[in-house]
């Protein structure tokens, strides 16, 4: 097989892998009179759980990443927090991101909450083996 065909084949496989990974992100939408939430639990909610929530009419989103409460050891904590900050900051429409609490980020801008959740889930997937190992270790 020529190098060109190998590259085309690998590109197709990578695109298929990305599409499959995106399909695995199941997000539940909860709409009430006073708020809207997008929730992803995954197979391991303690590692993969992400919620984006805002009050109706408000521009600010609050994004909760469940595992963030538990990560307090370096170098994983710094790596994790930068990863989540960057993921949120790179979502289209985001004006600013601030860490509001250990497991909560405040996001300002004209942005889709579902996209915030997806960005965080993709970021978590990128370091999932490290997070899983961390959760197995005695705390």
Q: Tell me the domain boundaries of the chain.
A: 26-136
Q: Does position 127 have pLDDT exceeding 70, yes or no?
A: yes
Structure-block tokens of residue 84:
């989540």
Residues 11-20 have pLDDT tens digits of 544 444 443 3
Residues 33-75 have pLDDT tens digits of 899 999 999 888 899 999 999 998 888 999 999 999 999 999 9
- SS3 state at 52: strand
d(C-alpha 105, C-alpha 82), whole Å: 12
d(C-alpha 81, C-alpha 71), whole Å: 9
Residues 61-119 have pLDDT tens digits of 999 999 999 999 999 999 999 999 999 999 999 999 999 999 999 999 999 999 999 99
Please give the CATH architecture assigned to the domain spanning 26-136: 2-Layer Sandwich (3.30)
d(C-alpha 139, C-alpha 136), whole Å: 9
CA torsion sign for 34, 86, 134, 138 is: negative
* Neighbouring residues of 84: CB distance < 8 A, sequence distance ≥ 6: 65, 68, 105, 120, 123
> What pLDDT is recorded for position 27?
87
């Amino acid at each position: 097989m020529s190098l060109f065909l190998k590259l085309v084949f690998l590109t197709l496989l990578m695109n298929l892998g990305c599409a499959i990974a995106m399909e695995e992100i199941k997000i539940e939408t909860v709409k009430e009179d006073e708020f809207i939430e997008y929730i992803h639990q995954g197979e391991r909610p303690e590692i993969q759980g992400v919620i984006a929530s805002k009050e109706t009419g408000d521009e600010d989103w609050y994004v909760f990443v469940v595992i963030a409460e538990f990560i307090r050891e370096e170098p994983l904590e710094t790596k994790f927090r930068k990863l989540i900050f960057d993921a949120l900051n790179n979502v289209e429409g985001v004006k600013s991101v601030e860490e509001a609490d250990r497991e909560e980020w405040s996001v300002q801008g004209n942005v889709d909450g579902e996209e915030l959740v997806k960005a965080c889930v993709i970021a978590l997937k990128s370091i999932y083996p490290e997070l899983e190992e961390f959760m197995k270790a005695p705390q």
